[in-house]
Amino acid sequence: MLKNTMISGPKCPSCGNQKIVTDQDTGELFCGKCGFVVTDKVADTGAEWRSFSNDETNRTRVGAGTSLTMHDMGLSTVIGAANKDSTGKPLSASVKSSIERLRTWDSRTQAHSSADRNLRQALNEMDKLKDKLALTDAVVEKAAYIYRKAMERKLVRGRSIQGLVAACLYASCRNTETPRTLDDIAKGINIRRK
Q: What is the pLDDT along the chain (194 residues), one digit of tens a residue?
A: 555 555 445 678 888 888 888 777 677 778 888 888 887 766 655 555 555 555 555 555 555 667 777 766 656 677 778 888 878 889 899 999 999 998 888 877 776 778 888 888 999 999 999 999 999 999 999 999 999 999 999 999 999 999 999 999 999 999 999 999 999 999 999 888 77
Q: Which of 163, 156, 146, 150 is nearest to 69 (CA)?
A: 146
Task: Compute the CA torsion angle 30, 36, 39, 42 (nearest 10 deg).
Answer: 20
CA dist., res. 53 & res. 64, Å (int): 20
Domain count, the chain: 3
23, part of any domain: yes
End of a domain among 94, 110, 126? 110
Number of residues written out for the chain: 194
Domain boundaries, position 83: 72-110
Same domain, 88 and 131: no
Kindly report the pTM of this predicted structure.
0.55
Q: Which residues contact 131 (CB under 8 A, 6 or more apart)?
A: none
121, part of any domain: yes
61, part of any domain: no
78, part of any domain: yes
